[in-house]
Every structure is written in structure tokens, then in C-alpha cells.
Amino acid sequence: MPKLTALIHVDEASRELQRTLESVQFADDILVIIDTAGADDALKFARKLHARLKTRIPGVSAGAYAMDAFYDWVLVLRPGEWLSSQTVDGLRRWREQKKDTETGYELPVHSAQGSTRALRLVNRQQMNWTGELPPKSGGVKELPFAA
């Protein structure tokens, strides 16, 4: 059964973290990278979910924090983005398989600006990235079961 880490980068201005965290509660590990160790309500909520909080190190690229994930599969979201209940159900069904060696999957991601499909579930053994989000990659499939 593939396990996954939800990885979320938060800057000081992020006020929309709670909805993002609510949509990834099913993850085996939640890792929140913060610019400052502030104690706002969203970070308190993250602690309630037993999320790991890690302060960003200046000069370290955002993608490097995938190495801090407990699991090879990394679900990357920005604060203010969330997964629908149908996508969460699809991810739960995907996790029922014994093994998956794909590079990654595109998922439907929602935000106040609308919805899009993007590469957000990545096998870090198959792909490294430096930016906040994994780059678009040829041959990446849509996640089976995700609506």
C-alpha cells in the first residue's frame, strides 16, 4: 500500500492553510514548511492534525523539502488549494494497491481562482524538482479513480 506525505509551503501571508489541511487529513504524514514560526490559527490547526512544522531555510529550494517527507509519494499543495471529497476518495482507493512505480499523477486541484488538473502527486524516487511545485512532465497520467 503506497503511503504518502502531504507537503505544503506556507509564507507569512498565507491565511488559507486550514482548508488545505482539512483536505489532506487522510495523508500518512503532513509536512508544512513555514517562512516564520508564527503561531496563527492555521498553524495551531496544523499542530492539532499532528502535522510536522519545519522552518524554511533561506537559500534552500522549495523542492528540496521533499527529502524531508517520510514517504516516497508526495502530495504537493499550496495554501488555499484543496482536494474535493471525490479526489480524496480516489486517493484512498489508489492507496489500496500494493505498489505503484509511476512517476506521478495529475489531480484535480481547487482554489478560489477555480479548478485545474495539475501534477501534484509525485513519486520522489522517480522525480526531483527545485521549485515549489513539481514541473509538468510528459507521460504523467491522471490519477485513476479521481474525479
22-53 pLDDT per residue, tens:
999 999 999 999 876 555 666 777 888 889 99
Q: Are 83 and 107 in contact (CB under 8 A)?
A: yes
Q: Please, which pLDDT band fits residue 13 given cuts at 50, 70 and 90?
A: low
Say whether pLDDT at 84 is over 90: yes
Q: Record the pTM.
A: 0.90
The percentage of the chain sitting over the pLDDT mark of 90, rounded to a whole number, equals 53
| CA–CA gap between residue 142 and residue 16 (Å, rounded) | 26
The average pLDDT across 111-117 equals 92
Residue 83: what pLDDT? 95
Calculate the alpha carbon distances from 112 to 2, 78, 122, 144 in Å. Answer: 30, 12, 24, 25
Residue 12: what pLDDT? 65
94 HSE (CA, 13 A, CB side): 26
Domain boundaries along the sequence of the chain: 4-142
Q: Please, which pLDDT band fits residue 16 given cuts at 50, 70 and 90?
A: confident
